[in-house]
Amino acid sequence: MGLFDFAREAGRSLRGGKAEKVEASELAEALRAQGVTIAGGQITVRGGDTVSITGQADSQREKELAILILGNTKGVAHVEDNITVVQKPAPQAAPAQGAQPASAPQAQEATFYTVKSGDTLSRIAQQFLGSANRYPEIFEANRPMLKDPDEIYPGQTLRIPKAQLH
């Protein structure tokens, strides 16, 4: 839960370049078009450029993608996140006699990064993940928002997954 800032003039236009005054219904459609589902989701627009979203996501990734899709829309400067993550419990085998049941792993939040002029996914991967060759991890973390790893733009905010040792 929190307030995220975005570059208001950067991002995908919902109206093909016309004057941008974002509408909640268009933002909800943008989420649906990207396959992002927030159960009981409610989107409101305040002050013309601040979007508030409430509801429940099945995963931390789904929550973060919703925030990024909304924030990477032209005309949106702020996203107020009121999404809760409700992870469905994974089926578990019964613990051995005397053993303690394993607790479910907690989803780790990703880092959000705003693309600068001259950035590439490889350069960002080198900075955050320690190897330029790990750029596909960033690309996958931002699908379906990203369609091509070579098509990022200054002002766009990306999800950087937590670095895993390789």
Question: Cβ contacts of residue 141 below 8 Å, gap of 6+?
Answer: 61, 110, 158, 159, 160, 161
Domain 111-160 CATH class label: alpha beta
CA atoms within 13 A on the CB side of 161: 17
Percentage with pLDDT > 90 across the chain? 67
Q: What is the pLDDT of residue 92?
A: 55
Q: Where in the chain is the domain with CATH 3.10.350.10?
A: 111-160
Q: What is the pLDDT of residue 164?
A: 62
Q: Where in the chain is the domain with CATH 3.30.1340?
A: 2-85
Whole-model pTM over 0.85: no
Q: What is the pLDDT of residue 13?
A: 79
**2-85 classified as CATH 1.10.730:** no
CB 59 within 8 A of CB 87: yes
pLDDT digits (tens, 9 = 90+) for 69-114: 999 999 999 999 999 999 766 555 544 444 444 434 445 578 999 9
Calpha distance 50→36 (Å, rounded): 20
Q: Which one is predicted more confidently, 21 or 69?
A: 69
pLDDT digits (tens, 9 = 90+) for 31-57: 999 999 999 999 999 998 999 999 999
